Amino acid sequence: MALYQHILIAADFSDHTDMVIQRAKALAAANNTRLSLCHIVEDFPLTDFAYEPMISVDADMRDALLDAGKKQLSALGQKFDIATENQWIEFGSPGRDIVRIAEENNVDLIVVGSHGRKGIKMLLGSTANAILHHALCDVLAVRLQDKS
């Protein structure tokens, strides 16, 4: 029996995404495992000009961001041979929605890149930290090194 049956890659489209996917692909190949890919377009609230209550991104901007993300996700899927039916892109909160997608799709390992920040976030990054603390499955945080 393979150690993992379904691995989910949380892609952030950074310069390090290929390295994270390659690590996940190596694990998937070693375990003969289903591999999936997701990206969450973060809902960044915007403040109006009078500094009134926060408002979310408008519908047109949201659609444009999702369309751009779909193109990037599809390109990654093609590059790394990940089937379209194993790709998800949504608008929301990365830390929360990656975990939800993993639960809904019986994922038993989430692979995410870890960016250096401060405190515990220095070790993992805020998204990786949220996933680690809320996921019901294993999480692999791939250590990312700045390219020199």
d(CA 7, CA 74): 18
d(CA 143, CA 135): 19
d(CA 59, CA 98): 22
Whole-model pTM above 0.85? Answer: no
Q: What is the pLDDT along the chain (148 residues), one digit of tens a residue?
A: 568 999 999 998 888 899 999 999 999 998 889 999 999 998 766 555 555 555 556 778 888 889 999 999 999 999 999 999 999 999 998 989 999 999 999 999 999 988 644 444 444 457 888 898 899 999 998 887 765 4
